[in-house]
Amino acid sequence: MFLEHLPRPVLEPGLPRGAVSLARVVRELYSEGQTDYSLEPIILTDVQGQPIGRIQDGDAVVFCCRRGEREIQLTEAFTESGFDRFPRPDFQNLTFVILTLYHEKFKDLPVAFAPTKIKDTLGEIVSRAGLRQLRVAESEKFAHVTFFFNGEDNQPFVGEEDVRIPSPKGIPFDQVPELSLAQVTGQVLRGIEKRYDLVVTNFANGDVIGHTANREAKIKCAEIVDARLGEVVDAALAADYVVLVTADHGNLEELTNADGTPNGSHTTNPVPFILIDPRATSTFDLRDGKLADLAPTVLSALDLAQPSGMDGASLVPGHDWGGQRRVLLVILDGWGIGKEDDTNPIFLAQTPVWDALTRRYPCSQLQAAGEAVGLKAG
């Protein structure tokens, strides 16, 4: 979660829940149905209940997190003079080492591993071509269509508009499975109407609700995503957009783990890929692939050359696009391919749009975990 969602006692004077054995407490909370996503902060204490290992004046901290979104807020809380988002100790002589450079604002902090500059990302190539692009997501997934999508660069490219819709606050997400998808959908429809050359959107619901243990909320979430997907696909096809629908990883498709406990984590399942070309006069096949093949596929539809450093390949090789096209890329966050049984909330949900798309248009599978996304074997 983002720092704004954390209980204030984590950094304020006063303590969250203490435990002599963190592992035992976590196991107890798991047995109560809680997941990592919803755990309240816990600190290690001695038998007298006194905290062990709290950060103090003169300490050196190595911040061993690397994503670059939540880490920005946490680093600000520890290092910015005049920080006023909430009360926190005024540490003296604190050395704070960040694992990598999360943001240019931290360039004067000690960095353990300098980041590799990623060049020729999809967004950069689209920008260099003089095309306009729109990125839309709610705050829970905004970094995924901006910072991460741009190779861990916080600055938008020329011609790029980023729209951040606030996610609901002050209420558990499983009580609002629609999140802010209505507003996200509205901004996507606006982008299509304004004829952006590339529209990229992340529907956060599948992953955010998938991280909870609420079965009914997960089923409802799939139905909400399905309805909103239908709205943006219909509008895009009416405007002659090529439509790509996929996911970044699985989560929602597995209701329980192998031991029967609620699943609230990402899965290693492949994800679906659907491509719709409203100009296509004959059927065409999509090959199976991996997430790295998405950018080359988008570039081919935009009639832009794939750079040598981009090692993926188009998922529809040789397809005649009929010239440069506009593209809508919809990322259904956490929407993996699961079993067609009662362990899969997507299968249990009423999803007429999804069912029609997968029947009517070419679809394939993309690997979205392990070596397929750059991790080492094993």
User: Which residues, given as ranges, of the chain have pLDDT below 50?
Assistant: 1-13
* Strand ranges, E, within 295-357: 326-332
Q: Annotate 277-305 with three-state secondary structure.
A: CCCCCCCCCCCCEEHHHHHHHHHHHCCCC
Cα 86 vs. chain centroid, distance in angstroms?
Answer: 27
Q: What is the pLDDT of residue 311?
A: 92
Q: What is the pLDDT of residue 280?
A: 94
Cβ–Cβ < 8 Å for 216, 342: no
pLDDT tens digit sequence for 320-339: 999 999 999 999 999 999 99
Measured distance between the N- and C-terminal CA atoms of the chain, rounded to whole angstroms? 27
Domain ranges (residues) in the chain: 1-54, 55-115, 122-373
Q: What is the pLDDT of residue 52?
A: 86
Q: Taking the CB of residue 251, how many other CB atoms lie within 10 A of it? A: 25
Cβ–Cβ < 8 Å for 222, 206: yes
Cβ–Cβ < 8 Å for 329, 199: yes
For the domain spanning 122-373, the CATH number is 3.40.720.10
β-strand pairing of 326-332 with 133-138: unpaired
The tokens for 102 are: 């999360």
Q: What is the pLDDT of residue 11?
A: 46
The tokens for 202 are: 């992340």
The tokens for 129 are: 């071509």
What stretch of H or E contains 275? strand 271-276
Q: How far apart are CA 351 and CA 336, in angstroms?
A: 15
Q: What angle do CA 101, 105, 109 make, to 5 degrees?
A: 60
Q: What is the pLDDT of residue 103?
A: 85
Q: How far apart are CA 35 and CA 212, in angstroms?
A: 7
The tokens for 134 are: 């729109």
Q: What is the pLDDT of residue 68?
A: 67
Tell me phi and psi for residue 116, to 5 degrees. Answer: -85, 130
Nearest to 184 by CA among 299, 332, 335, 349: 332
Q: What is the pLDDT of residue 203?
A: 99
Nearest to 77 by CA among 123, 29, 21, 12: 12
The tokens for 180 are: 């802010």
